[in-house]
Chain A
């Protein structure tokens, strides 16, 4: 852009930014949301990176399931750094009288724990808390424990009291305020109980097959690279079967969750920007319509079309820079405010600061959106016919701009979409969302065209109010399409989020508990199975007892090809990323349906066969007759795929992706897991009875786990709703902008109508009809499109059941119609009061 264009643009901006308030606010809102989401995500990630050593517990962590490291492995590790050893399992804690029980996350630590970070303990009454070593030591015949405050509430005990875990009696010496390596975080099944290694042994809970994991954390000597250490370790112990994590993936699950949330929130933020983009485009179009005479004058004085375009593009970009800057400031500051709203369960604290990368991304989104929505009116305005200056007035150009501007709009839109997809960690999700947004915008445009067409062709109603209202919808330059699209898109997102949340919540609140068992029982020893079954059969209220053997194993090869080198689709990776539960069975498990092959005879004793999850088989490219190799407790076992099953995971039953034929694993160390349903009133009694009789068996309450999950979904839905409210706010701004820009014409209309004898009531009625129609149309469309989007997300992405929730939709529709009516009317009531005489004199 030449300096001349900038010079004229600067002069044009002297008119002030009054007319650009909607432009600036729309742009600033959209950019602010994206910048805020990006900044917050970056701050949490930076917090993760800062705390990664203490979260991981060392420079490297090796995790083993079921077994401890052997002497050779231990010596190898000890020679290369300082070791700290921890063990984690689920267990039941009971009060000494056996009246109250609770599932706990039991963790044993050694003297070296923690290698990084610090444990914070507290004792009641503001007294000095003991050191961790002192708190866990053996005193007066009892081992000490430190516990999360939640456990004491649950069991109704206090510091100094004792609890029973397995065979051991543990004295609670302090409450655990901060655990540097607590990463389980969002979905824990019970409160933490931390004990020393000897105390864990004293519980007697650790037997072959117990679901326990051992972590070996290493502090490497300064300056040594963890990658080099890991490579050496893999070479020295290729079959150890440990899961190795280093600082780069200290909290992979948390990282994934964070990435997903960031993608979702950025996409909703982008919707706000799209909605705001319509406002930005409308604002520029209305500004340029007011500039028609100036543009014509400049052309008469010899300004080329190109100079005109560049001048107003320069002005638009200067304004956009202002709006974007405002948005960036708001977005960069938002994390400082939002940090206090972060879920308390989050194990890391955000590292607040200014992060340039997300700000740059947000600014780029803002710039591209500005271009995508303003190039059209800018291109059209440059086509103003200056000859009109010789006539009474110059007509603003309302039509389409020359083809090259339309192409430029398409390029800007494509760049915007491309950036949205490329900058997302989940590109498939982003791509579908972008396509969805484009389709929704197109649908709204189409619907707007249909509404305009209908208003034009409905005939000429005899009531002048209705006639005026309809005419206002289709007159040239009417903002019907823009208002409908922007208001509608914001509403559609709200409808979709409300429906998705409503469905997930009802799934958790009602549908899941209808089918789900009340309890999972884990770590039942093989010699306890008969008495366990007997106990539950004799408990009143207990129904639907199911029990299967449970082992842990890792998929190590597909058709003989090690999984590290096999081609596995992203959606199936979860199954190879770590140990999985597996079982063996003589009969087809409940909750499964055969989709290929046939089930083996109940008395089958031949070479190992496996029944595999059909979806995983698809993801791993496996079919009937292929082989699957699993590593169970260090032993490799290769089985041929005899059949494929479709599994209903939502039944929360005893579902296993891998079911082996009987005889193959009978001798392996194993435990049993069981599910049972019981009447809600007798849940506590059942848990108590089981834990009194079988101290080693843990009872996981499905109700508690679901409540925990519901809390997480609630928090996520609240965040998404807040962001989509911004999208709706942008939509409302677009409406307000459209009302403001049409004000002069409305005053003129009102004056003419009054001169012709219309009363205020007549005119009011016309406006109410006009805005009512607009609001209803936007709401109805948004309800339809939002419902469609929610249905797609629930059935196609999440694979859950769908039920229409008219309440959420009706609320949205009512809200939209009222808002449109209120804003439209508020914007036009002044027109009603206009005195005809002054207007007629100056016209």
Chain B
């Protein structure tokens, strides 16, 4: 069944995050509450500085909130220490960045195998190869990032994000560094894979058209949720 919906994958209650800066404390997130069901796809939009990336970092266990409660896949992130958070990311989260962030000294295959290697999986390389073949890079396994085009690099990153079968995929402007046509191909790939695997997707984008491909759009403004709406078109597409 592609869309398991046994409880929320993300549950955020009254989330606050204050960062110290040279000019004084900045309230980046001010009381966010959010519930995302397993299998949902959510577009996160809002102007620069509205707190999108910070929210995503909190959900990935990369930033600790000042106050509030965050549960992802049933785990209370506030109760996890640093190493448990690393394991949580390894097993539960996949991340796709705007600037790809492949490790330059590793081949495409090694980049993709890494999360499985961290998990001690013996079949890490076999599965990484399958993952790369799935994104159409079966012939590029031993290439280094510098030998790949931008679109190819992002496809490697997508293969890497999916390889450990994460429950939640975080994508931060995945097409921001790509030209229009390549961007569309990459997004198609992303949505195809998530649909096949039933992965929950949280996608940050400035592109409203892209956001509308999600089932739901959450708009942030000034650290608060300004709007949370379902997208009819996307719902139709889902059928």
Which residues on A are within 8 Å of B, measured CB to CB?
A: 4, 7, 11-15, 293-294, 296-307, 385-387, 389-391
Contacts and interface: CB of A to CB of B under 8 A. Distances in A.
Contacts of A302: 86-91, 93, 115, 118-119, 164
B104 A300 contact: no
A312 to B, nearest CB: 12
Contacts of A11: 103, 105-106, 110
A303 B97 contact: no
Contact of B104 (A294, A296, A301, A305): A294
Interface string B80-95: 0011001111110101
B115 A385 contact: no
A305 B87 CA distance: 11
A98 to B, nearest CB: 86
18 contacts: A4-B117, A11-B103, A11-B105, A11-B106, A12-B105, A14-B106, A297-B103, A299-B62, A300-B60, A300-B62, A301-B160, A302-B89, A303-B114, A304-B83, A306-B83, A389-B101, A390-B54, A390-B97
A298 B103 contact: yes
A385 B104 contact: no
Given A11-B110, A389-B101, A301 B83 contact: no
B14 interface: no
A297 B90 CA distance: 12
Chain B CB within 10 A, most for which of A4, A294, A297, A306:
A297
Interface in B56-81: 56-57, 60, 62-63
A244 to B, nearest CB: 67
A389 B95 CA distance: 11
B177 interface: no
Given A300-B95, A302-B86, A387 B114 contact: no
Contacts of A13: 105
Given A302-B115, A387-B63, A389-B99, 9 more contacts: A11-B110, A294-B105, A299-B86, A304-B83, A305-B82, A307-B86, A386-B62, A387-B62, A390-B56
B172 A390 contact: yes
Contacts of B63: 385, 387
Nearest to A305: B82
A301 B114 contact: yes
Q: Which 5 A-B pairs have the closest CB atoms?
A: A302-B90, A387-B62, A390-B53, A387-B57, A304-B86
A379 to B, nearest CB: 14
Contacts of B105: 11-15, 294
A287 to B, nearest CB: 12
B29 to A, nearest CB: 13
Contacts of A385: 62-63
Contacts of B54: 390
Nearest to A14: B105
B77 to A, nearest CB: 13
Give the contact-size bracket for chain B: 35 or more
B118 A301 contact: yes
Nearest to A293: B101
B101 A305 contact: no
Nearest to B120: A4
A304 B118 CA distance: 9
B104 A303 contact: no
Contacts of A389: 97, 99, 101
A91 to B, nearest CB: 77
Nearest to B89: A302
Contacts of A386: 62
Contacts of B53: 390-391
A389 B102 CA distance: 11
Contacts of A298: 103, 114
Given A4-B118, A390-B56, A390-B172, A294 B103 contact: yes
A630 to B, nearest CB: 75
Contacts of A305: 82-83, 86
B53 to A, nearest CB: 4
Chain B CB within 10 A, most for which of A299, A303, A390, A391:
A390
A7 B62 contact: no
Contacts of B93: 302
A552 to B, nearest CB: 75
B206 to A, nearest CB: 14
Nearest to A13: B105
Contacts of B106: 11, 14
A601 B91 CA distance: 99
Interface in B153-187: 160, 164, 172
Nearest to A385: B62
Chain A CB within 10 A, most for which of B86, B87, B90:
B86
B31 to A, nearest CB: 20
Contact of B86 (A15, A303, A390): A303
Chain B CB within 10 A, most for which of A11, A15, A307:
A11
Contacts of A300: 60, 62, 89, 95, 101
B90 A301 contact: yes
Contact of A297 (B60, B86, B101, B119): B101
A14 B146 CA distance: 13
A770 to B, nearest CB: 25
Contact of A303 (B62, B102, B118, B120): B118
Contacts of A303: 86, 90, 114, 118
A389 B173 CA distance: 12
A307 B118 contact: yes
A617 B219 CA distance: 91
Nearest to A10: B105
A614 B153 CA distance: 83
A208 B206 CA distance: 112
A303 B172 CA distance: 20
A834 to B, nearest CB: 23
Interface in B95-150: 95, 97, 99, 101-106, 110, 114-115, 117-120
Contacts of B119: 302
B164 to A, nearest CB: 8
A387 to B, nearest CB: 4
A206 B62 CA distance: 94
Contacts of A14: 105-106
A305 B99 CA distance: 23
Contacts of B89: 299-302
Nearest to B92: A302
Nearest to B99: A389
A297 B95 CA distance: 10
A307 B82 CA distance: 12
Nearest to B88: A302
B153 to A, nearest CB: 12
B83 A390 contact: no
A297 B97 CA distance: 10
B98 to A, nearest CB: 8
Nearest to B204: A390
Nearest to B64: A387
Contacts of B97: 389-390
A296 B101 CA distance: 9
